Amino acid sequence: LEALRPVCPVCRGPDGDEAPLEVGRVEREVERDVLEGALLCSRARCLREYPVLDGVPLLIPAIRQFVTDNLYAIVARDDLSSTLEGMLGDCAGPGSWLDVTRQHLSSYAWDHWADLDPAEEPGPASLEATPGGLRRVLSAGLDLAPEVPAGSVLDAGCGVGRTAFDLAARRGDDLVLGVDTHVGMLRLASRILREGVVRYPRRRVGLVYERREFAVSLPGAERVDFWCCDATALPFARGTFSLAASMHVLDCISSPVEHLAALGRALRPGEGNI
DSSP-assigned beta bridge partners for residue 214: 198
User: What average pLDDT is seen over the chain?
Assistant: 91
The pLDDT assigned to 86 comes to 93
The pLDDT assigned to 248 comes to 87
pLDDT at 112 over 90: yes
Contact present, 118 and 214 (Cβ < 8 Å):
yes
DSSP string, 202-266: EEEETTEEEEEEEE---TTGGGEEEEEE-TTS----TT-BSEEEE-S-GGGSS-HHHHHHHHHHH
Alpha helices in 114-235 (DSSP H): 133-144, 162-170, 183-195
Provide mean pLDDT across the span 238-263.
Answer: 91
pLDDT at 14 over 70: no
Distance CA 243, CA 152 (A): 7
| pLDDT tier for residue 125 given thresholds of 50, 70 and 90 | low
Tell me the per-residue pLDDT of 171-209, one tens digit each, with 9 for 90 and over. Answer: 889 999 999 999 999 999 999 999 999 999 999 999 999
Q: What is the pTM of this model?
A: 0.92
